[in-house]
Amino acid sequence: MADRPHVVIVGGGFAGLYCARKLRRAPVRVTVIDRRNFHLFQPLLYQIATASLSPADIATPIRTVLRRQRNAQVWMGEVVDVDRESREVRLADGVSVGYDYLVLATGATHAYFGHDEWAEHAPGLKTVDDAIEIRRRFLLAFEEAEREADPASRSRQLTFVIVGAGPTGVELAGAMAEIARRVLPSDFRAIDTSAARILLLEGADRVLPPYPPELSRKAKRQLEALGVEVRTGAMVTQVADGFVVVGDEECIEAENVFWAAGVSASSLGARLGVETDRAGRVPVQPDLSVNGDPNVFVVGDLASVRKEDGSPVPGVAPAAIQMGKHVARTIGRDLAGRPRNPFQYVDKGDLATIGRAAAVAHLGPLKLSGFVAWILWVVVHILYLIGFRNRVLVMLQWAWAYLTYQRGIRLITGESHVTLRQARRSDGASDL
């Protein structure tokens, strides 16, 4: 097997992992390199942030996924550079790995529009650790409010601002409103958790901007029914400790701000030596290879790909999966001496959920909302979860949460053991 062409895939997300699996019968050696040892089902990450699922429910070790694929090995490590000249990638610990084919699939993270200093006040949601941090802050706010005597401080603590009304923002806001109104009230004595304010701020003129306007309207109505204040055309111009500024003058006092806007591609794209777009994405050829280097592919959120009509392929899981598989097929065709095909994105539609038993869906000509869309959402997400165990457990937990209005994962964990904000302030620690 050592003399087979070596395919190095950097990143074990949807694009990388589906590429690796699709290569299982190809006459190649596959090495998947990832900084983390697990594949994460990112579309459900907000459910960790809102205490509905545990990390392990939506994450599976990459090794386990590829366990039976004898032509694949997995390395845990961080790729920091690509040398296209000598055809090797370099890891953070100095080790170099040579390749015959390279597939870069390191994805994207959120971006603060050039204001990285906002990050400490408004955590985003891209990794398991991000999700646990959001969960910690969200739950801690109620704990603090329960002990707070001053009404103004208490109301600041019970104000939650979510910046960005794409699918992640909409899902976060819906879930947080539902927890505050349905799950927490009986747990607290001094505060009325259902009086918590959940604000969803969106710079564009409607929520879920990429969806059809009709669904945006329905999503807004469903969010408002859950008690979310939806503000469109609301440009955030400042985020600081205890407040958010919208536009030129409005200041919203809030201790809890969460970031669901902006996108910034992995910095590895810039190491390829080709010009990237504003978000750091790498423009690719129709076959997803990098200009002038047919053996280097970029896939998933790191790639800037256009549909036939010139509009961008969205940064969603189905697109990443399709790209990963396409590259695997292309490598197979190369080795069989057949010509390459251009990548064609098949739009399978969009789905977003808005709390318990409400969602919107857009599937070709079909536009669904409410309970029917929610059932569809449940089925699709269960089907795509990797690992049978995860499917059964997630199904069971959703059923339990649906029937009882309970959220089981309401744990405040993490570095800071004395987690109350007051305590941290008084002793000068700064981790929140």
Nearest residue (CB) to a second copy, 191 versus 261: 191
User: In this chain, which of 241, 249, 308, 415 binds a second copy, going by CB under 8 A?
Assistant: 415
Is residue 116 close enough to count as binding a second copy by CB under 8 A? no
Is residue 387 close enough to count as binding a second copy by CB under 8 A? yes
Residue with tokens 């959001």: 134
Nearest residue (CB) to a second copy, 132 versus 207: 132
Is residue 73 close enough to count as binding a second copy by CB under 8 A? yes
Beta bridge partners of 347: none
In the 8-state DSSP scheme, what is residue 182?
I
Q: CA 387 to CA 14: how far, in whole Å? A: 14
User: In this chain, which of 86, 189, 278, 428 binds a second copy, going by CB under 8 A?
Assistant: 189
Task: Supply the Cα-derived Rg of the chain in whole angstroms.
Answer: 23
Catalytic choice (133, 144, 148, 171): 171
Q: How far is the CB of 16 from a second copy (least distance, A)?
A: 17
Is residue 225 close enough to count as binding a second copy by CB under 8 A? no
Is residue 395 close enough to count as binding a second copy by CB under 8 A? no
Is residue 389 close enough to count as binding a second copy by CB under 8 A? yes
Residue range at the interface with a second copy (CB under 8 A); choices 218-226, 313-321, 356-364, 390-398:
390-398
Q: At what angle do helices 317-335 and 14-22 cross, to 10 degrees?
A: 30
Residue 427, phi then psi, degrees to nearest 5? -100, 10
Is residue 92 close enough to count as binding a second copy by CB under 8 A? yes
Nearest residue (CB) to a second copy, 369 versus 419: 419
| Strand ranges in 133-174 using DSSP code E only, listed in sequence order | 159-163
Q: How far is the CB of 379 from a second copy (least distance, A)?
A: 21
Q: Which residues contact 157 (CB under 8 A, 6 or more apart)?
A: 141, 142, 144, 145, 148, 255, 256
Tokens (6 digits) for 254: 């809030």
Instruction: Give, as ranges, the residues between 25 and 44 that touch a second copy (CB under 8 A).
Output: 35-38
Q: CA 211 to CA 218: how far, in whole Å? A: 11
The CA-atom distances, in angstroms, between 92 and each of 9, 39, 207, 260, 328 are: 16, 20, 40, 29, 27
User: In this chain, which of 4, 63, 271, 356 binds a second copy, going by CB under 8 A?
Assistant: 63
Residue 336, phi then psi, degrees to nearest 5? -90, 0
Amino acid at 411: L
Is residue 6 close enough to count as binding a second copy by CB under 8 A? no
Pairing of strands 29-34, 197-201: unpaired
DSSP helix/strand/coil, 205? coil
Is residue 94 close enough to count as binding a second copy by CB under 8 A? yes
b/e 208-228 (16+ beta carbons within 10 angstroms → b): beebeeebbbbbbebbeebbb
Is-catalytic flag, 224? no
| Strand ranges in 222-356 using DSSP code E only, listed in sequence order | 228-231, 236-240, 243-246, 250-253, 256-259, 264-265, 282-283, 289-290, 293-298, 303-304, 350-353
Instruction: Give, as ranges, the residues between 132 and 161 that touch a second copy (CB under 8 A).
Output: 132, 139-140, 143, 146-147
Q: How far is the CB of 128 from a second copy (least distance, A)?
A: 5
Q: How far is the CB of 410 from a second copy (least distance, A)?
A: 5
Is residue 278 close enough to count as binding a second copy by CB under 8 A? no
* Cβ count within 10 A of residue 422: 12
Q: What's the longest Cα–Cα distance across the chain? A: 75
Amino acid at 251: C
User: In this chain, which of 27, 56, 210, 285 binds a second copy, going by CB under 8 A?
Assistant: 56
In the 8-state DSSP scheme, what is residue 337?
T
Is residue 307 close enough to count as binding a second copy by CB under 8 A? no
* Cβ count within 10 A of residue 312: 14
Q: How far is the CB of 189 from a second copy (least distance, A)?
A: 4
User: In this chain, which of 188, 194, 224, 270 binds a second copy, going by CB under 8 A?
Assistant: 188
In the 8-state DSSP scheme, what is residue 228?
E
User: In this chain, which of 76, 119, 235, 274 binds a second copy, going by CB under 8 A?
Assistant: 76
Q: How far is the CB of 11 from a second copy (least distance, A)?
A: 14
Nearest residue (CB) to a second copy, 261 versus 394: 394
Q: Which residues bind a second copy (CB under 8 A)?
A: 35-38, 54-57, 59, 61, 63-64, 67-68, 73-78, 91-95, 127-129, 132, 139-140, 143, 146-147, 186-190, 387, 389-390, 392-393, 396-397, 400, 406, 408-415, 417-420, 422-423, 426-427
Q: Kindly list the catalytic residues.
A: 171
